[in-house]
Structure 1
Amino acid sequence: MADVRLLIAGREYIVTCKDGEEPRLHTLGNMVDEMAREAGGASGGLNESRLLLFSALLLADKLHDSKNGSIKGASPTQAADDPAFNQAVVTLEKLAGRIESLADRLEE
Structure 2
Amino acid sequence: MADVEVSVSGRRYKLSCRDGEEDHLRALVRMVDVKAEEITGALGEMTEARTLLLSALLIADELNDMRGAAAVARNESGAEAEPDPAYAVAIERIAERVERLANQLERTGE
Give me the TM-score of the superposition, normalised by structure 1: 0.74
Matching of residue 76 in structure 1 with residue 73 in structure 2: yes
Q: Take 2:95 and 2:35, find their aligned partners in 1: how far apart are those partners?
A: 11
* Match in the other structure for 2:17: 17
Q: Report the equivalent of 2:101.
A: 102
Contact 1:56 1:100 in 2 (8 A): no
Structure 2: which amino acid aligns with 1:45? Answer: E
Assess, with a 3 A threshold, how the Cα gap between structure 1 residues 54 and 103 changes in structure 2: closer, same or farther. same
**Which residue of structure 2 aligns with residue 36 of structure 1?**
36
- State the AA in 1 paired with 2:65: D
Given that 1:35 and 1:58 are in contact with CA atoms closer than 8 Å, whether structure 2 keeps it comes out as yes
2:58 is matched with 58
Letter in 2 for 1:100: E
Could you tell me how far apart the structure 1 residues matched to 2:24 and 2:96 are? 17
Across the two proteins, how many residue pairs are aligned to each other? Answer: 97
RMSD: 2.7
Q: How far 1:76 moved relative to its partner? A: 3.3
How far the C-alpha of 1:95 sits from its partner, in A, is: 4.1
Specify every segment of 5 or more residues in structure 2 that has no aligned partner in the other structure, as ranges. Answer: none
Q: CA 1:41–1:47 in 2, change beyond 3 Å: closer, same or farther?
A: same
